[in-house]
Amino acid sequence: MSGTGPIRVIPLGGLGEIGLNCLVLEYGQAAMLIDCGLMFPEHYMLGVDVVIPDVSYLRELGDRLLGIAITHGHEDHIGALPYVLRQVDVPVYAPPMAHGLVREKLKEHRLLDTARLEVFRPGEEFDLGPFHVDPIHMTHSIVDTVALAIGTPLGTVLHTGDFKLDQTPIDGRASDLPRLAEYGSRGVLLLLSDSTCAENGGHTPSERSVRGGLDLAFRETQGKVFFSTFSSHVHRIRQVIELSQAHGRKVAIVGRSFQNSIRIAGELGHLPLVPGLFVEPEDIADLPPERVTVLTSGSQGEAMSALTRISMDDHKVKMTQGDAVILSSRFIPGNERVIMGMVNHMVRRGARVYHHETAPVHVSGHASQEELKLMLRLTRPRYFVPVHGEYRHLVRHRALACEVGIDPDDTFVVENGNVFEVGPDGAAIVGEISAGRVLVDGKGIGDVADIVLRDRRHLAQDGVVLAILGISQKTGEIISGPDLIGRGLGGEEEIQGHFEQARGLVLEGLQALAAESRTDSHEVTEAVRKTLKRYFSKALERRPVILPFVMEM
């Protein structure tokens, strides 16, 4: 392990998408991983449950991979651990809240016994081979978030994790700017910084700025207040607990993810779990509605969430005239129509709904342009690589770096799978490893190939037709069928009419085949497929998946 080789940065995910954050840092024979996140499937990934990064490169690293450092406990930073730890057996270092959430997650996956979990707090430095890791406290939409200053023989690599520069956070603990400045003075070799909101001008408002909007909603409400956000957003939840106390409301927690998250945060001292403040969901009906706040998951309109079921009057907790619902999160792109469907149900129950498009009840946890520039000015890196974002975010963030005076030649738009090297004499993208997305579907891991997704899309758009035919092996005479079975095509009656006609055409088509072709099941199969394809395309303007099966008798 010599002191003269380069540092290698290899993103496995998160540089080209929102989510899936996972980045390899290498020096000599040693490697460490920063974060190990998932993402939720894109609209075209039919039947896929979650998406994780392809970590075959980690398996290649083998013993050279020394550990995984986690910056915070969001799913897009920890969610792939249960899948990845089955493939590589290394210790996981995480700040307390993330540690608690990872434990919970590994327990569910029955991996807790074999996993090696270490917890660290800001300032509690630790070593992974040649990497000296110094966690620096940052503000974000979950407590216990850190940046990682990673000392290497060539200099410091600073990875911001996700962050905003909140000067008035709820717990009073602002991002550790002095520490960042200290590293800046000493010299940062490479800055890797969060690009999620690189397109947003100005400064992201403080978490505290939401207080006024939430308080107004509480004051305007005669009935129950239903409150929903991401279950890990501890400071948001803390504000709602404090507001409930101030307005004389008891707090009921509905849903397992909220219960877990609040328990973990409470044990860590992040939430004021005042005795007598909390009530069981069963007790809500016995309290006057103006004395109740209901904390519940489902702000994204998830199909099976408590909130969706409550909105449809399909839950023991009832939503009634005069109640309010506060959806305290951004609508993730792709979810709007489902969320608005849920809102319509709530309005029908008689509730008033507050959400970020109509009321100031949410702010982002990510830095906007002025904060990103401040980070660049404070740390004055030799080289800069934007991380965490789609291609457009990375390019925009790079432009910001150039605006604050970093030489464009020292900034790099690196993408997943790129091998980016920083040596004593320069930096460059020098190669590529195999990276990508693994689509997890039920028990299978990584078995949903493009062809399978294409089949599913095809099935979903146009349905399927089976054609079953028995032919005599000797004469090619049709002994049975063609029988047609369809799914997802159209109305039963209409389709039966079409099948009637299609059957006739198939028979005609087979008559037209040469005698020797008629005994060749492959040729018969193709003839059936062609006839049916042509028929449905013409009669219905559809291209169902056609599956002919010829049985030789």
The footprint of a copy of itself (CB under 8 A) covers 42-43, 46-47, 199, 333-334, 336-338, 340, 343-344, 347-348, 353, 357-358, 390-392, 395, 441-444, 447-449, 452, 455-464, 466, 468, 470, 479-481, 483, 485, 487-491, 494, 539-542, 545, 547, 549, 551, 553
CB-nearer residue toward a copy of itself: 167 or 473: 473
Closest approach, Cβ 484 to a copy of itself, in A, equals 10
Q: At a CB cut-off of 8 Å and minimum separation 6, what does 73 contact?
A: 94, 95, 97, 98, 99, 100, 101, 102, 142, 144, 232
CB-nearer residue toward a copy of itself: 77 or 330: 330
136: closest CA among 96, 178, 184, 195?
178
CB-nearer residue toward a copy of itself: 125 or 494: 494
Closest approach, Cβ 462 to a copy of itself, in A, equals 6
CB-nearer residue toward a copy of itself: 119 or 466: 466
Q: At a CB cut-off of 8 Å and minimum separation 6, what does 464 contact?
A: 486, 487, 488, 489, 544, 545, 546, 547
Q: Which residue has the tokens 């920890």?
A: 78
323 contacts 223 by C-beta, under 8 angstroms? yes
Closest approach, Cβ 196 to a copy of itself, in A, equals 13
Q: Which two tokens stand for residue 160?
A: 């911001």
Q: Report phi then psi at 85, rounded to 5.
A: -65, -20
415: closest CA among 439, 400, 431?
431
Neighbours of 258 (CB within 10 A): 22
Q: Across the strands, what pairs with 302? A: none
What percent of the chain is helix, strand and coil (3-state, nearest 5)?
Answer: 35, 25, 40
Closest approach, Cβ 341 to a copy of itself, in A, equals 9
Closest approach, Cβ 216 to a copy of itself, in A, equals 14
CB-nearer residue toward a copy of itself: 168 or 537: 537
Closest approach, Cβ 544 to a copy of itself, in A, equals 10
Q: Quote the CA–CA distance of 304 and 490 in Å, as a whole number.
A: 28
CB-nearer residue toward a copy of itself: 5 or 488: 488
Q: Quote the CA–CA distance of 203 and 389 in Å, as a whole number.
A: 18
Closest approach, Cβ 414 to a copy of itself, in A, equals 14
CB-nearer residue toward a copy of itself: 277 or 452: 452
539: closest CA among 504, 509, 507, 495?
495
Q: Quote the CA–CA distance of 201 and 369 in Å, as a whole number.
A: 5
Active site residue 194: yes
Residue of 76, 194, 323, 441 marked active site: 194
* DSSP letter for each residue of 417-430: TEEEEEETTEEEEE
CB-nearer residue toward a copy of itself: 340 or 404: 340
3-state per-residue secondary structure call for 124-187:
CCEEECCEEEEEEEEECCCCCEEEEEEEECCEEEEECCCCECCCCCCCCCCCCHHHHHHHHHHC
CB-nearer residue toward a copy of itself: 135 or 463: 463
Helices (H), 404-484: 450-462
Q: Across the strands, what pairs with 128? A: 131
Q: Which residue has the tokens 């999620």?
A: 196
3-state per-residue secondary structure call for 23-57:
EEEEECCEEEEECCCCECCCCCCCCCCEEEECCHH
Closest approach, Cβ 445 to a copy of itself, in A, equals 10
Q: Quote the CA–CA distance of 488 and 468 in Å, as a whole number.
A: 18
Closest approach, Cβ 485 to a copy of itself, in A, equals 6
Residue of 362, 366, 388, 498 marked active site: 366
Q: Please write down the long-range contacts of 424-427, taking CB distance under 8 Å and 24 or more positions apart.
A: 424/4, 424/6, 424/154, 427/190, 427/383
Q: Please identify every residue annotated as catalytic.
A: 194, 366
